[in-house]
Each structure stands twice: as structure tokens, then as C-alpha cells.
């Protein structure tokens, strides 16, 4: 029986190793992001976590995921502070 041809562009093995293709899981997860920057940071975080066992360097992928997650956390904290400050300014008028 011939070995199936690997499609590294449309369905790379490190994205298709489970029951669901990683891109489908990620698209579902980020669809409710309030803006494109937050969605992109969530996307990258998930991308590295979902394929960490299939690419060959799990520690590197986890560190990359953490880098994006840290940026996402910082952005959310900054947005929260900005919104809190805006509310205080509006109440003074």
C-alpha cells in the first residue's frame, strides 16, 4: 500500500494530529475576540500549544506560547486600566 502524500501547505501533519485540525479549533476560539490584536495574540498562544507535541521542540513551543500569552495579558491589563480611567473621568462631569 502506498504511503499517503503529506500536504505540508494545506494540512501539515503538526496541525492535523488530533481529531480536529488546529486551525478549526483556533478559529472557533478567537471568533469572539473584541479586537484583532487580542484575537491575534490568542491565536498565536493557541497555535503553539496545540502543536507543541508534534513539532519536535516542545519546550520552545511552550516558551513561544508564553511569550504571546504574556503580551495578551499585558494588553488586557492595559485596556482594563484605560477603561477604568475613562469611567472616572466621565463621572466627574
What is the per-residue pLDDT across 13-23, written as a single tens digit (0 to 9) for each?
655 667 889 99
Residue 50: other Cβ atoms inside 10 A: 22
Q: How is residue 41 written as a grid cell?
A: 495574540
Q: Contact, 17 vs 6, CB < 8 A?
A: no
What is the per-residue pLDDT across 28-50, written as a single tens digit (0 to 9) for each?
999 999 999 999 999 999 999 99
Closest by CA position to 29, among listed 52, 45, 16, 15: 45
Q: Contact, 44 vs 22, CB < 8 A?
A: no
How far is residue 29's CA from residue 32's CA, in Å, rounded to a whole number? Answer: 7
Amino acid at each position: 500500500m502506498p504511503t499517503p502524500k503529506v500536504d505540508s501547505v494545506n494540512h501539515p501533519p503538526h496541525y492535523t494530529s488530533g481529531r480536529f485540525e488546529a486551525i478549526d479549533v483556533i478559529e472557533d476560539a478567537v471568533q469572539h475576540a473584541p479586537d484583532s490584536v487580542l484575537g491575534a495574540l490568542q491565536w498565536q498562544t493557541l497555535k503553539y500549544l496545540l502543536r507543541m507535541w508534534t513539532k519536535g521542540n516542545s519546550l520552545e513551543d511552550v516558551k513561544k506560547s508564553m511569550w504571546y500569552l504574556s503580551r495578551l495579558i499585558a494588553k488586557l491589563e492595559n485596556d482594563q486600566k484605560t477603561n477604568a480611567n475613562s469611567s472616572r473621568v466621565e463621572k466627574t462631569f
